[in-house]
A and B are shown apart, each in its own frame.
Chain A
Amino acid sequence: MLQVRIHGRGGQGVVSGAEMLSVAAFLEGRHAQAFPSFGSERMGAPVMAFCRIGDEPIRSREPVMEPDALIIQDATLLHQVDLFNGLRAGGTVLINATRSQDELGLDELVASNRYKLFTLPATEIALKHVGRAVPNVPLLAAFAALTGIVKLESVIAAIRDKFAGKVGEGNVAAATDAFERVRKEQEGQHA
């Protein structure tokens, strides 16, 4: 079972990000569970959502305490919330940031825990394609590219399930853009 925790701020689509990830996994025949943290959700406040993906029905209802992966939708939370709490050694971390791991001051933390950390300018991608600062969809697509947990087609289908019309298509474009960026970066590394 893969356990993902998404951190962000109210209004950034943290909860719908987890929901879409679960839908994408469901579309690939997996069992998936997504739910919000039980905190006060209001614009700008730190919020969390969780997603579990597995091959068996998921019974546990506890929050994701020991995630395999983190998606951080707002890098300013790095100084406010204990984001890495419980993240297993070697876990994946995807941060919405224009800055690098080094510039974020995370080199030591990443090295000592063997985290696989990636940054993506997700807000910029969202602004370009959706016209709003909603980084959840580009992050989701990038997460799919990084981990292979779900295919881009499934992410796109989950987006269309959630958002109709222009907003949906803008998000599809944002997802495709983010997915391809990560793929290109990975190819660059392997070349």
Chain B
Amino acid sequence: MLRQIEGSRAVAEAIALARPQVICAYPITPQTHIVEGLGEMVKSGELTGCEYINVESEFAALSVAIGSAAAGARTYTATSSQGLLFMAEAVYNAAGLGLPIVMTIGNRAIGAPINIWNDHSDSMSMRDAGWIQLFAETNQEALDLHIQAFKLAEALSCPVMVCMDGFILTHAYERVDMPTQAQVDAFLPPFEPRQVLDPAEPVSIGAMVGPEAFTEVRYLAHHNQLRALELIPRLAVEFKNEFGRESGGLLRTYRTDDAETIVVALGSVNGTVQEAVDTMREQGVKVGSLSLCSFRPFPLAAVRSALQHAKRVVVLEKCFAVGLGGIVSDGVRKALSGIVLKGYTVVAGLGGRAITRASLIKLLESAGRDELEAVTFLDLNREIVAHELQRERKARRTGPTAEAILKSLGTVASSVG
């Protein structure tokens, strides 16, 4: 049924349709509306057979999720930013133990400086924790990915993060096609755990493993993610057969067939990128884009096949490795091993800075002339940076950087973009 609702509401309803048995969460912006919505549904009786557990922190939220998943319950939680960092130890444990928890990340920057707005730093901080990470381009895809995520997680006994851009998606009202319970039931069978903590058949989960077997356990986790590379596209096909629309998969390309320049990006910015691609195509510029849905596992072969005929690749990242550059770029470069083409990393949209079509077009024109630096920060205000660096040269005690920059900017009341 077509609905015009907030992204968070759409995800909450999709989770409810997946018949979760335990939901535990701790509120943090911008994912809060999702778990609030689920809390209301459990309380009103709209969502039955589900225990909603309030906890005192994100660390507790995921720890409870680990316990309930180990007890064989379909388990869901959600977090963002600092909340994900606070649960970090449990994030690794959930994956290491092979517990198929589904967690939404309402993507948000990580402080300091504190910032509640969108970028991908939070998910990226946990990229090697062993979870599958899927990025949604639209609210429809966010909704759909959650339904796929339970099936994927449970098939592989591996936890899945569904990453959706904070505010840009979580707080956006747009049209979604909400599936029926019968459709979701037909697609998603009840959870059959591979391992269960059951007093009737006692086992222990979480053995201490020494050098004699640690490598093998870790290797199997890697092997499992490689299986996900096959399963993710299969689930997307199954999903299309059941629901009649394309969602998920490893990646999607847009006008890449004869493209000389291809932009690679994750998540909601792909919509704006496609707008920029269309504008430039009208001017005869051969550009295209690639939306990477599965970041973990990283689909090396699919990325290689999609990019290999381009002359240049621009990886647009809402995050970066300080002191190095791109994070997504690393995977893309690995995918293109042995292929000679120009590769650029563009860091954009940090802490909620708008990524505009105008800026993207300017950027792509510059890339087309091969005038970009290897690592570029989109719309970086060089004047502010220069001013701050000069201040630091002049005096020793310059005080905190963030506060000084805000002061020199003046009061930021409400600027567009």
Contact = CB atoms under 8 A, between A and B. Distances in A.
B274 interface: yes
B4 A81 contact: no
A36 B173 CA distance: 10
A60 B117 CA distance: 18
B415 to A, nearest CB: 7
Interface of B: 2, 4, 6, 117-118, 165, 167-168, 171-175, 268-269, 271-272, 274-275, 352, 354-358, 413-417
Interface in A78-98: 80-82, 85-86
A63 B354 contact: yes
Contacts of A23: 4, 173
A145 interface: no
B172 A62 contact: no
B251 to A, nearest CB: 17
Interface residues of A, number: 37
The 7 closest A-B pairs by CB, nearest first: A26-B4, A59-B271, A46-B414, A35-B172, A34-B173, A38-B352, A62-B356
Given A19-B6, A62-B272, A62-B417, A35 B173 contact: yes
Interface string A117-158: 000000000000000000000000000000000000000000
A61 to B, nearest CB: 5
Contact of A60 (B165, B357, B415): B357
Nearest to A161: B4
B268 A82 contact: no
A170 B269 CA distance: 39
A33 B357 CA distance: 17
Contacts of A73: none
Most chain B C-beta atoms within 10 Å of own C-beta, residue among A61, A64, A82: A61
Given A22-B174, A26-B4, A32-B175, A61 B168 contact: yes
Nearest to A5: B416
A39 interface: yes
A37 to B, nearest CB: 7
